[in-house]
A = this chain, B = another copy of it.
């Protein structure tokens, strides 16, 4: 049956990641950190058809561990669809029979876009930690270059959850005339000290893995243990206390009684080990360092003096969504965004979805999100 998944009427089907390279020296882009970077390759996918008026484009912005592959399958045998396949396709929330949907891997990532695991053309070696520090604004700048290349000078909407929501906020600030609307889901204008703390412990686990070798591990053993620990910490913060009770409780994985040894016994332990190991196979440890740092640095209040000032010049219609049990990007942070937008008399809607899924809800509460996204987009078209 698996090979038929891509044929489902609401699937975008088989898709292909495409690549665009720009900023060839001496035309490198200037980054927030003051360094220049180029050439830059961007991995991206598109779904649906750009209208003759080019007024139906929607840019999706992925989260920390996501990629350009938001929907569909890469082959007829591909068992796993894109990361937001539940939301992107014909008749789905991002209805590809109406909209032209674009998703690209962000700068510093490890899924086809230039990042620390790519070859530095000036040395012929992988960048590793010589890769310059990149910010959310740098990522957005690169996305803008991709849109220029695609000939799109106006976006009907942009949407992102978590770190993708940070990019959405950056977009409406940096390119106010280009973005008609934005959906900021389970996100924040700045991480809490608690979230920074978790990021720092995760980075610490990676750089103290002897295989990390100051980031020069390409071609050798990767810092498996460190990256797995980072991911395990991540997963705890993506779930909620309640969802962990529901999903695992104190259930033992395979026995009825305690083993009295140090093997994993509780189901929650097995889950974390599985997630940690799986992540190592698909993600680059150096990227994890850069991307968490980019999130930690993101702080609109600090950058503009206040959140009110940050939003002063935006023109986009905004939809802000949070989830009740999300303690990594808690609802109070979404409310700060909404308040600052309202203080500026901006057009903003806010919804806190009641959910036990924690931060993961932005990928799991498909029904709620579909309803909200569809309604939000329909109103845009009607206007």
Contacts and interface: CB of A to CB of B under 8 A. Distances in A.
A210 interface: yes
Contact of A200 (B204, B205, B245, B264): B264
Contact of A327 (B204, B241, B293): B241
Contacts of A198: 236
Contacts of A233: 201, 233
Copies per complex of this chain: 2
A380 interface: no
Nearest to A205: B229
Contact of A250 (B193, B201, B205, B264): B193
A133 B263 CA distance: 12
Contacts of A302: 250
A232 B204 CA distance: 10
B194 A262 contact: no
Contact of A269 (B197, B208, B260): B197
Q: Which one of A190, A229, A248, A273 has the highest number of Cβ atoms from chain B below 10 Å of its Cβ? A: A229
Contacts of A229: 201, 204-205, 208, 229
Contacts of A297: 258
A268 B196 contact: yes
Given A250-B299, A266-B196, A260 B201 contact: no
Nearest to A251: B193
Nearest to A332: B241
Interface residues of A, number: 57
A197 B272 contact: yes
A226 to B, nearest CB: 8
A241 B203 contact: no
Interface in A295-311: 296-297, 299, 302
B272 A200 contact: yes
Interface in A308-354: 327, 330
Interface string A199-217: 0110111011110000000
Contacts of A129: 262
A92 interface: no
A266 to B, nearest CB: 5
B261 A133 contact: yes
Given A200-B272, A232-B201, A241-B330, A193 B258 contact: no
A229 to B, nearest CB: 6
A244 interface: yes
B193 A248 contact: yes
A249 interface: yes
B201 A272 contact: yes
Given A260-B33, A289-B262, A293-B262, A244 B194 contact: yes
Interface string A219-239: 000000110110011001001
Contacts of A262: 129, 203, 207, 289, 293
B269 A200 contact: yes
Contact of A197 (B194, B244, B249): B244
A192 interface: yes
Contacts of A249: 193
A326 to B, nearest CB: 12
Interface of A: 32-34, 129, 132-133, 190-194, 196-198, 200-201, 203-205, 207-210, 225-226, 228-229, 232-233, 236, 239, 241, 244-245, 247-250, 258, 260-262, 264, 266-269, 272-273, 289, 293, 296-297, 299, 302, 327, 330
- Which 7 pairs across A and B sit closest by C-beta, in order of nearness? A33-B260, A133-B260, A208-B225, A193-B244, A193-B268, A200-B269, A193-B248
